[in-house]
Chain A
């Protein structure tokens, strides 16, 4: 079971969180004309990569904040966690 550092609550077990997928996906702006392909990429297409991955986790049974977690999908190593609005260098 992963041990995730919530930027608000500290170290917490994985079972307090739910997974939210790739954090680099950006929702197209409202009212903006976009191609079918762009929309498809937003709704359906994900990389499912092996290795370092910036992903979303929701601290469901905690502070209820969506956070960003930089994790290795193969080894489960967590390098860093960020608040939703934190600028990641």
Chain B
């Protein structure tokens, strides 16, 4: 198919490389270097979508990031992505795209009936219409709106692409590679500063690519290319295209999204699709340029109405005509540049200039070239439905209030220029309070808040010479401060045409008897009349007007609509624009893909995984693992066809009958050294620690200052001034921070050092009546008898040549020991235990059996120490010293903590001795009581008691101490269960604790 709107020559595209692509199922051709938009326009396609609310036909309005219309669904390498701007998406071989927001097709769209039936949806429509009846919202309104609206569909498949995050530091970050970006980057780089220059487009140069200027006897484009190639050679400079700095955060942290592979048919091997850069910059130079403003007139959303700068860019960069019979509608000289560019390519444009009698070099040039110009003329309305076919135009009075006779002239596009709006988003995000600049009717950055400076058009400077001068100076000055170098750069000779003053005109009045829709926000279909309604209904704050009308709330974030909206509000309110103020700019400047934000933290990489040194042994022996924080722990070791329940029962039984071994490496371990260590422990734990002898362990409970139990564990006195503390797996990090807090801030006078040794020791718990026999085999040279190594005793020993520590402590309630060796010997220890334990029928046991053993013994763990319970609740009050003060003690006399019917831990057994009790269930007195049924307590942990061979649970129950023997009901609405139960002691097995001392 012929590209009917492609010029014979010109543009920066690669005409040697023809690319085929599909749009809405039809095949077209374009060239390498095209965007999807330029390739479609080259093929004469101007209808690409439907508007959000009225489903009016949508074409192209811009040529880049400001595009409000041309949003497509993209298909690339068997993946699909919504919300892609055709004006930004580079063409690649095989690209496929589809229109969004239209059904069944872009040419015949059912939603557009809204438009023809004139049921225009006024401001606040969604709020007003769909409020009642309330039940209709979920069933009828929302599904309907969602089907009719929508800006594409997100893929539900796993995204196989890779996204990366990168952290970077630099002296100067420069956003935008137009004249100001290039000049400041060059000056700073020459001074040796570390510079990052970021350009969101594929090509560097910004406005230099489309403007008719001369710098140092080169065209703007050539000058830009020479600067870029020089910067590329410098080791202190990073030059990035396709990279949008979209967010400016605290302390000069900026985030940039680099589209590494989006322009290719397929991501290259080992390459990411996108890369997110977190950049901490000493100085930021914002050279983001400006965006052309539309002028508001009737039907100004018709395809074919577009920014004059976009029309020029399609011509100069892509060699594409947006029309062959163009009308240029302008209030300043920029429209003339576009018209002259058309004329150069053999097209005869007509210029309508709102100004009475403007004079400048550019206007003279247009006149000399024989371009037809009508002064004091405006476009009243565009005509044509799916594409502009003509324009109603009229003369306008000098006060811009009265229209003359309306004439109709033929045209196939209307190129609009309503002057320029500086792109101040980043500056505003940095906290810079922007100010209104009267001369350009727009906001510019005010006083810097962070280390940022805005240059060139983004700062409202619209002449090239001034832009280059201020940018060279800024680059030089800022880099000099950082590097102390002072390389002077000679300022190049600049040739540009001088412009005349623009006309402060932005909205064409309606002719008598006509009610054309005049749009402000093109993506969200917000018209002049909507703002008028909102103001009539009493909305005043611009933030409220925005939300009520949805002005500037679409995915383009109002890049082309904001200022005209503000002008309208200020006109109606009789205020000046700065008094109305603008809405807050928030990151991101453009939509960022979720993949880029997430980066590599997906699947297995979403969190670190910690494994014990014995992990591979567990794997080889059919362990089924469970997450314990970031640790992976064996939950049970599967034998044959066993399930979790059967395996854990077998393992727990074997501990009670013979001997079991459990990997307890994950327990938090803290090494405590120093002459005041005992004093620290005495203050941290609720019980007494000053008299613990060397070679003895003690169980301790620590509280938070509010009296709630924080953690428990055993601490062993290794030598005179050396202790080994253990914490629960979950609280290991918190306990260390807690100790550091008190040692560094509260009691710095204590001479103690603490350090985590969790990963330095591998641990194995050997538990069961035969554990001593096994220990004798493991440590034949030690006396491990009840006298030699009594309960809570500690020994340093040697395990066949490997240094080992033996603690006689027990979590299972059986006679038990914990053996620690250095981590790299963990596997050796484990295999020795298994090997020598064979004759005692040793079996490894996992966390499920471990839980069973501790639950039936009534030992508390994380599910009881849940951040809501105090020592009393968990029957640990016996460990509270009356003689000394400790962290949290003063809180314990709080009224609720001392009340007579305070909750307490109890045991729960189902009356039928069969039904398992779901954890988290509530305990109630009467199962049939009306709701809300008063909750007396909750089930904290459940197991199948291997000792009694029936279900057993622990519960935290109100007035627990007086409830033993009571019959209650367990209710789990979630599992739809009601179970009659009896309350028993929490110590269901060996209540006197004789086994651990045996």
* Inter-subunit contact A56/B745 (CB<8 Å): yes
- Asked whether A62 is an interface residue with its Cβ less than 8 Å from the other chain, the reply is no
Bound CA–CA A44/B278 (angstroms) = 37
* Inter-subunit contact B249/A1 (CB<8 Å): yes
Chain A-chain B contacts (Cβ-Cβ < 8 Å), number: 54
A64 neighbours in B (Cβ, 8 Å) = 740
- Among residues of A, the one whose C-beta sits closest to the C-beta of B252 is A3
- Asked whether B706 is an interface residue with its Cβ less than 8 Å from the other chain, the reply is yes
* Inter-subunit contact B740/A3 (CB<8 Å): no
Q: In chain A, residues 52-79, which have Cβ atoms closer than 8 Å to a Cβ of chain B?
A: 56, 58, 60, 64-66, 75-76, 78
- Asked whether A9 is an interface residue with its Cβ less than 8 Å from the other chain, the reply is no
* Inter-subunit contact B251/A84 (CB<8 Å): no
- Asked whether A88 is an interface residue with its Cβ less than 8 Å from the other chain, the reply is no
Q: Per a CB cutoff under 8 Å, which of A3, A27, A85 touches B748? A: A85
- Asked whether A45 is an interface residue with its Cβ less than 8 Å from the other chain, the reply is no
- Among residues of A, the one whose C-beta sits closest to the C-beta of B737 is A58
Q: Per a CB cutoff under 8 Å, which of B250, B449, B740, B884 touches A1? A: B250
Bound CA–CA A18/B885 (angstroms) = 28
Bound CA–CA A85/B743 (angstroms) = 11
* Inter-subunit contact A75/B280 (CB<8 Å): no
A44 neighbours in B (Cβ, 8 Å) = 706
- Count of chain B residues with a beta carbon within 8 Å of a chain A beta carbon: 24
> Per-position contact with B for A34-54: 1 when CB-CB < 8 Å, else 0?
100001001110000000000
CB distance from A16 to the nearest CB of B (A): 12
* Inter-subunit contact B890/A39 (CB<8 Å): yes
CB distance from A88 to the nearest CB of B (A): 13
Known: A18-B737, A75-B431. A43 touches B891 (CB 8 A): yes
CB distance from A12 to the nearest CB of B (A): 10
A58 neighbours in B (Cβ, 8 Å) = 737, 740-741
B278 neighbours in A (Cβ, 8 Å) = 1
B885 neighbours in A (Cβ, 8 Å) = 30-31
* Inter-subunit contact B890/A28 (CB<8 Å): yes
- Among residues of B, the one whose C-beta sits closest to the C-beta of A65 is B744
A56 neighbours in B (Cβ, 8 Å) = 745
- Asked whether B974 is an interface residue with its Cβ less than 8 Å from the other chain, the reply is no
Chain A interface size, as a band, is: 20 to 34
- Among residues of B, the one whose C-beta sits closest to the C-beta of A27 is B746
A85 neighbours in B (Cβ, 8 Å) = 744, 748
Q: Per a CB cutoff under 8 Å, which of A28, A30, A66 touches B744? A: A66
* Inter-subunit contact B890/A76 (CB<8 Å): no
B748 neighbours in A (Cβ, 8 Å) = 84-85
> Per-position contact with B for A5-44: 1 when CB-CB < 8 Å, else 0?
0000000010000101000000110110010000100111
* Inter-subunit contact B741/A43 (CB<8 Å): no
Q: Per a CB cutoff under 8 Å, which of B252, B737, B745 touches A84? A: B745
* Inter-subunit contact A66/B741 (CB<8 Å): yes
Q: In chain B, residues 656-683, which have Cβ atoms closer than 8 Å to a Cβ of chain A?
A: 683
Bound CA–CA A43/B249 (angstroms) = 33
* Inter-subunit contact B705/A42 (CB<8 Å): yes
- Among residues of B, the one whose C-beta sits closest to the C-beta of A84 is B744
CB distance from B503 to the nearest CB of A (A): 40
Bound CA–CA A2/B253 (angstroms) = 8
Bound CA–CA A30/B431 (angstroms) = 45
**A-B CB contact pairs (8 Å), 12 listed:** A1-B253, A13-B280, A20-B741, A30-B683, A34-B890, A43-B705, A44-B706, A56-B745, A58-B737, A65-B740, A66-B740, A66-B744
Q: Given A2-B251, A66-B740, 8 other A-B contacts at CB below 8 A? A: A3-B252, A3-B253, A3-B280, A20-B741, A31-B885, A43-B705, A58-B740, A76-B250
